Amino acid sequence: MRSRPECLDALRVLATTCAGVQAGERSLVVTDTAADRDIVAALVSLLATLGADVVVAEGSPADLPGYDPPAAIGAAMQEVDVVFELTSVFIGSCSARRAACEAGVRYLTVPGLSWTTLRPGGPFSADFAEAADRARRLAERFDRANEFHLTSRAGTDLRGSFEGRRGRPLWGVADTAGGYAAPPDIEVGASPIEGTAEGRVVVDGSLLFLGPDQLERSVELRFDAGRLVDVAGSEGWRLTDAIERAGDERMRMLAEVSIGLNPRSRPGGSALELEGILGGAHVAVGNNVAYGGSNDAPSHIDCVLLEASLALDGETLDPR
């Protein structure tokens, strides 16, 4: 194992602060053949030093974000106290994960984790307790919202309705039964009411898990009546190809609009670091069940904006 000792403090934060692992607990590390084996091995070793009973389950990478793992791995998720998803492709919106959380399992989705994101002073050094307060407070503002307006200097101009939808805060911690977190991502958002979103989104950060973490060129998305109707830009094929491979027109529905809240996240890190950048935002297409919607499409694909502004009912949110 080629470990990086300077990064082990971040892994300890993941295991203790974010997951609340205790001696004697049953821990399952779900991984795949394309994930960083050294990071997996380092986490397994750390969990063992904490006295946890650790099992590793490895499969093939998911074809698309949000796809279910092999049935045996999905079943194993429900037989432990805590799951760490250290895959190369996000699967955290899958039905197996939802069933595990409903059974009381704590679930940490940490796909695409890199040593860069585990760096000293990086996103795992954020104050997660303070982040919880901020995320919950902003989620209450989403609860009261009717209209939203997402903009950016790059040209994003998207409007729609959150009326009746609850805000969903994620602050990187899942230390209670049934908890779900995606550290180091800290965010709050909601799912727009189906059919209401209109406008364009300029994605200058990432199409998560559809190629390199960082886009070389921006991709422009256009939405009409809540559906993705056009994708422009030389790297836009990554998203259109994924939608075509899913083979489900529900994948074109706008599923989520969220803002990032982690002040320690920076461009150049892994996917979930990009997703949680303070002052950034992301939209998603596909499955919106986790956000209170009814679109159970097979995949959930996040598209990251490195800089954006979100207004609720005409009032611009201050993520700080």
Secondary element (H or E) of residue 281? strand 281-286
Q: Average pLDDT of 210-223? A: 96
Residue 86, strand partner residues: 31
CA distance 195 to 293: 12
CA distance 318 to 299: 30
Q: What is the pLDDT of residue 320?
A: 84
CA distance 101 to 77: 9
Predicted confidence (pLDDT) at residue 110 exceeds the cutoff of 60: yes
Closest by Cα among 204, 209, 190 to 272 = 209
Q: What is the pLDDT of residue 1?
A: 55
The 10s digit of each residue's pLDDT in 276-299 is 999 999 999 999 999 999 999 999
Could you give the percent of the chain with pLDDT greater than 70? 99
The 10s digit of each residue's pLDDT in 224-270 is 999 999 999 999 999 999 999 999 999 999 999 999 999 999 998 99
Q: pTM surpassing 0.85?
A: yes
Strands 106-109 and 82-86: parallel
Assigned CATH topology for domain 5-109: Rossmann fold (3.40.50)
Predicted confidence (pLDDT) at residue 20 exceeds the cutoff of 70: yes
Domain ranges of the chain: 5-109, 127-316
Average pLDDT along the chain? 96
Q: Average pLDDT of 80-103? A: 97
Q: What is the pLDDT of residue 32?
A: 98
Closest by Cα among 45, 56, 40, 47 to 21 = 47
Q: What is the pLDDT of residue 79?
A: 97
